[in-house]
Structure 1
Amino acid sequence: MQYYNSIIDTIGNTPLVRLNRINKGVKGTLLVKVEYFNPGNSVKDRMAVRMVEDAERDGRLRPGGTIIEGTSGNTGMGLALAAIAKGYKCIFTMADKQSLEKIDILRAVGAEVVVCPTNVAPEDPRSYYSIARRLNQEIPNSFYPNQYDNPSNSVAHYETTGPEIWRQTEGEITHFAVGVGTGGTASGTSRYLKEQNSNIVTVGIDTYGSVFKKYKETGEFDEKEVFPYLTEGIGEDILPANVDFAMIDYFVKVTDKDAALMTRRLAREEGLFVGWSCGSAVHGALEYAREHLTDTDVMVIILPDHGTRYLGKIYNDTWMKDHGFLERTFATARDIVHRKNGQGTLLTVSTDSRVADAIRVLNREGISQIPVTDSKGEVVGSLTDSVILHRLIEEPEVRQLSVEEVMDKPFKFVALDSTVDTLSSLIDRENKALLVRDETNAVHIITQADLLAAMTV
């Protein structure tokens, strides 16, 4: 009889599939490693089981324990399968930008899911990183794998994914392309491949709003690079220990829209029903390949997960249209800024101005919000008419206070190439406007009115 002792024994040995249509005009052979053949439908199954088994060996995870992890969904699924096979409980924290399908799938396999806000700093106590760490401290006999910094993550790919690719290509691989999130898949696989052939080039796929590409190229962690994005599973606003930048030769950034459209093309043109970051990986790999690959090169691209995670998002026409991915009437923040060039410089109010003076500026200019700057001209806060009105009703004497005493947090800065769908998703009750720096480093404001005007052109 041929059988496996548990579902986790089926992890690995996923197939390589050649791309035939989507890479038309691109030199070389492009192969995708289809990781949804793993039982949890993602590449994360590999390292999830490895983290659990390493923790069992060194005593960090004991019988009857609880596994607590911050996840974008796929690592949680792998950990949940390991927990079922080995008899543990699971609690997962997730950012609220993750698809509802991911949350439902985790709950279906018995995990408790805590949904946390996306648009907070990693160190904020509300972030899914912080809540996972807090739960680990509070719950006895619990284990926090911390996929971002746990070396077992990279080791799993060094010992499985890398050798599989080398064996499947019979050592003919010349280029390896992979989305970078926690860094385990990219770094572990690349390390193994480069040990076999140091000439193999690893291309990391990043997303706009993430710090990786600029950090690789300059060594600078630039907080201005960090802003919210929609693509799930790649990019970070931190530097995980598992990202070994020496193992990644180049980074290519891919927009949310390009990733989403490529994902749908993979399903239609190649029969690969894959997840959002798979579109990122293929789009970025093709960008690199068009310029660098020759006829004799062999590129392997990791496709991390399955399309069932995204049925309510990128595979839903209404959602795609709502976010401007299928029908977009205006392009980017750059276009909005260029449209407003004739409207003068950015209006601001200083921290040492009186609230009464700020109210006069709002009334005179007919605007609802204004950035607040310090003595150096740096944006340090914001004022909105609704906030001032509520304060005045409760405390009329607020008029005489300095702006610094009543200002709210500063408006978010966004990238100049942010698409209108991304911009519209960032403006809400708590964030009334956005700021952007143009090519000359001048700051411009983008309001709800600007977005409405852009969408009706």
Structure 2
Amino acid sequence: MEILNDFLETLGDTPLVALRRYHPDGALLAAKIEFFNPGSSVKDRIGIAMIEAAERDGKLVPGMTIVEPTSGNTGLGLAIAAILRGYKLICTASEKISKEKVAMLEAHGAEVVICPVDVPADDPRSYTKVAERIRDQQGAFLPYQYFNQANPEAHYRGTGPEIWSQTDGRVTHWVAGIGTGGTISGVAKFLKERNPGVRVIGVDPVGSVYAHFQEHGRLPSPEELRVYLIDGIGQSYVPESYWPEYIDEVVTVDDPTAYRSVFELARTEAIFTGSSGGAAVFAARELARRLPAEALVVTLLPDSGERYLSKLNEEWLRERGLLDG
């Protein structure tokens, strides 16, 4: 009988889909559709990976609570693993998190603590510092995806080999958004070990730090940072889960471009992704347009636009100046 033992066994082996309507000419552009994972996002991969690593190291034992700062997707990945492994979960999130993600986390039994978005990472009110305080006060385990090497390693062991196999080793360019940096870094390391000629391009929101850091080797000044509306990527510091030595270039995408790309992709390919996926696929297409026909550009769509329906609508977008006219 083909009966799986639990929901986590559906993890991985997500489809790689050619985007010939979104990008009809020139180099082939393909997207790895990560909302085929059990929790409908790429972060399901690291949720179970970080829990298993902590269990192996004796840092997480039955009866403990897990606390994690998250934009929502990692929280749900952890929630699924926590349910099946018997842990309680608390998620701290910035107020930018969508209502749908909060509802999903709470439906899976997680407690959600909302924190201000426009404060520095070291501010005691930030969602990272609140998570650390809960860890200290409750003796909880903090996986801390931004500093946990099980994050990029999950993609080195899983996502990277899948892309290599699905393209028969023909992938020439890997383009992905940078949030924690785990997805782009783990895949990049694997692909470059197989073919050092593979080019790796990160995608960063305007107002984040990665593009400046990659070019100059240092963080931008605080005055150069600004709040952006793209969900799930970008950062105000460079976490340890980001491996810059495997990244060749980082490009920036602004909010209106990312959101327009979400709808263009949905209306050409019937693939509805979130704003981080919109940013990634736009940057990947811009690259593919400059490449010869024999090139193969692979990008990744981290999650579904269904997670953001309270944002991906005309009223919300128009109020924030993200629609033309």
Q: TM-score range by the shorter chain?
A: over 0.9
Distance 2:224 2:71 in 1: 21
Native 8 Å contact 1:68 1:91 kept in 2:
yes
Distance 1:234 1:289 in 2: 21
1:220 CA drift (Å): 2.0
State the AA in 2 paired with 1:206.
D
2:82 corresponds to? 83
1:318 corresponds to? 315
- Helix, strand or coil at the partner of 1:236: coil
Distance 1:184 1:215 in 2: 16
- Deviations along 1:274-311, one digit per CA (max 9) or x if unpaired, are 111000001111222223x1110011101100111110
1:129 CA drift (Å): 0.4
Query: 1:187-336 maps to which residues of 2 (within 5 A)?
Result: 187-223=185-221, 224-291=223-290, 293-314=291-312, 316-328=313-325
Distance 2:184 2:324 in 1: 34
Native 8 Å contact 1:166 1:173 kept in 2:
yes
State the AA in 1 paired with 2:251.
V
State the AA in 2 paired with 1:319.
W
1:322 CA drift (Å): 1.3
1:120 corresponds to? 119
Q: How many pairs were matched up?
A: 324
Native 8 Å contact 2:121 2:129 kept in 1:
yes
2:21 corresponds to? 21
Native 8 Å contact 1:157 1:185 kept in 2:
yes
Distance 1:167 1:107 in 2: 36
RMSD: 0.9
Distance 1:286 1:24 in 2: 10
1:265 CA drift (Å): 1.2
1:73 corresponds to? 72
Native 8 Å contact 2:160 2:188 kept in 1:
yes
Identify unmatched segments of 5+ residues in structure 2.
none
Native 8 Å contact 1:17 1:32 kept in 2:
yes
1:325 CA drift (Å): 1.8
Return the match for 2:165 from 164, 167, 178.
Answer: 167
- Helix, strand or coil at the partner of 2:311: coil
Distance 1:205 1:285 in 2: 9
Distance 1:165 1:108 in 2: 32
1:119 CA drift (Å): 0.3
Native 8 Å contact 2:177 2:203 kept in 1:
yes
Native 8 Å contact 1:252 1:288 kept in 2:
no
State the AA in 2 paired with 1:307.
G
1:204 CA drift (Å): 0.3
**Structure possessing the higher radius of gyration over alpha carbons:** 1
- Helix, strand or coil at the partner of 2:50: helix
1:225 CA drift (Å): 2.7
Larger relative contact order (Cα-Cα within 8 Å, sequence gap ≥ 6): 2
Distance 2:322 2:219 in 1: 30
- Helix, strand or coil at the partner of 1:173: coil
Return the match for 1:149 from 147, 165, 173.
Answer: 147
2:48 corresponds to? 49
1:7 corresponds to? 7
- Helix, strand or coil at the partner of 2:289: helix
State the AA in 2 paired with 1:129.
T
2:57 corresponds to? 58
- Deviations along 1:194-249, one digit per CA (max 9) or x if unpaired, are 00000000110011110100111111211233111111111100110111111111
1:168 CA drift (Å): 0.5
Distance 1:131 1:23 in 2: 43
State the AA in 2 paired with 1:153.
N
1:80 CA drift (Å): 0.2
State the AA in 2 paired with 1:4.
L
TM-score (norm 2): 0.98
Instruction: Report percent identity of matched pairs.
Output: 47
Native 8 Å contact 1:210 1:236 kept in 2:
yes
Identify unmatched segments of 5+ residues in structure 1.
329-457
State the AA in 2 paired with 1:19.
L
1:68 CA drift (Å): 0.2
- Helix, strand or coil at the partner of 1:143: coil
Native 8 Å contact 2:172 2:199 kept in 1:
yes
State the AA in 1 paired with 2:307.
R
Distance 2:53 2:37 in 1: 20
1:320 CA drift (Å): 1.4
State the AA in 2 paired with 1:186.
I
Give every structure 1 segment of 4 or more consecutive aligned residues whose post-TM-superposition deviation is greater than 3 Å: none
State the AA in 1 paired with 2:71.
S
1:363 corresponds to? none
Distance 2:225 2:61 in 1: 38
State the AA in 2 paired with 1:324.
G
Return the match for 1:184 from 182, 185, 203.
Answer: 182
1:24 CA drift (Å): 3.3
- Helix, strand or coil at the partner of 1:146: coil
Distance 2:131 2:263 in 1: 33
